Amino acid sequence: MQFNSIYEYLDMVFEANTNPTKAEIIEAKKQYYKLWHKAYNRKRRKTRKEFRLGFDINTLGRIKREKGTRTVSKYLYDAVFNALDGGSKSDFDNEQLVTIHQKLMQLIALVEQVLDSGESLELENLLERIEQLELQFSKLTA
């Protein structure tokens, strides 16, 4: 874009007209922002490629059912990155992980109660493994 600011643009537009009306100023500002957005989008497209996707009614319905609480854009980004990463990312949403994490913490409390009532090496090993699993879940939901 050839102008460094809106003021340079307005000075150029109103060079001959020293006393523009308020409506003329508003219209000139609109034209400047159109030029600015056009230049911005051109610059951005040099480093970032954009795609348009079209879906039929059945596919849209499937997307709406599977997206959960995520936005459609977030769901599509997740689907693309999941495909690029070879499916290594789970399909669970954060709410499901939080629910599993809570159930796991309840299970740990139950095993601790059993341990308090009587010592057992097998129960201690079980508790350690469950606690390790709980730590992994807490990292996922953080």
Q: What are the pLDDT digits (tens) for 88-136? A: 555 566 777 777 878 888 887 777 777 777 767 777 777 777 888 777 7
Q: How many domains does the chain have?
A: 3
Pair (57, 37) in one structural domain = no
**Domain containing 110: what range?**
94-141
Pair (59, 85) in one structural domain = yes
What tokens appear for 36 in the block?
């600015």
In a domain, 108, yes or no: yes
Pair (29, 63) in one structural domain = no
Does the global pTM surpass 0.85?
no
Pair (23, 43) in one structural domain = yes
In a domain, 1, yes or no: no
